[in-house]
Amino acid sequence: MSRLDNKVAIITGGAASIGKAISEKLHQCGARVVIAARSADRGEKLARELGENALYVQTDITRDDQLQNLVERAVARFGAVDILVNNACVYDDDGAQTCRDMWLSTLNTNAVSAAMLGEFARPHLTRVKGNIVNIGSISAQFPHIGRWAYPVSKATLRHLSKTQALEYADDGVRVNMVTVGHCWSDPFEGLTGDNRAHADKVSAAYNLMGRVADAQEVASVVAFVCSDEASYMTGGEVPVDGGYGAMGPEQHYPLMPLLMAGSSD
């Protein structure tokens, strides 16, 4: 298991879904975790469960004053910021009919906020030669019919990760992206009416594992990427997508036998 003893990690959207799993995993690996989220009920509950090495800071990541407060609270409580995990995002998307306000809100939340928080945390990350992990999506690499704003915002975050890696290299700060595929999370739970079996069945054709991921599987990879065991990784993208990105249009079904089946018609 990757060790993060005495590291201080800020996790945005860290009180629910994939973010909660990341907060729990980093804490399990020895980190002191700062849980940034809008939901006070969830955030305070998780911080209580994790104990003295956890701090909840109510944060709207689209507000710079609250991002500054988040960093200041982390330093005041734990004395440093070693790790920043930009996980929080919104899924608002009406496809081609997405209005301008929704476009701007989605880009602001999913990409601009990660850039701003990175800059607020940068002096502290530089001091300890820390690192940033941005949580990306397969949506950034592949167009999805009926969805425009969310995939474009994640594509923006993907490019931002590489830009940050370039800019922060002289500071000794690593920046990487963990790219997530279909994962059992709040959106999947809501869309399926909390039917995991149905989610696995629908997802099976889209990846090589035949199921959606567990949030803990994403969290384990995040823990590795932000640990010293990944000390030579920066500007990288680590897929946790069950093989989604490895498949082409033929998916994982052989074409030739299907073609030959027509020879007897």
Catalytic positions, written as ranges: 150
**Nearest-angstrom CA–CA distance, 34 and 74:** 6
Token readout for 172 is 């000794």
**CA 22 remoteness from chain centre:** 9
* All residues at 6 or more sequence positions from 172 whose CB lies less than 8 Å from its CB, including other chains: 126, 129
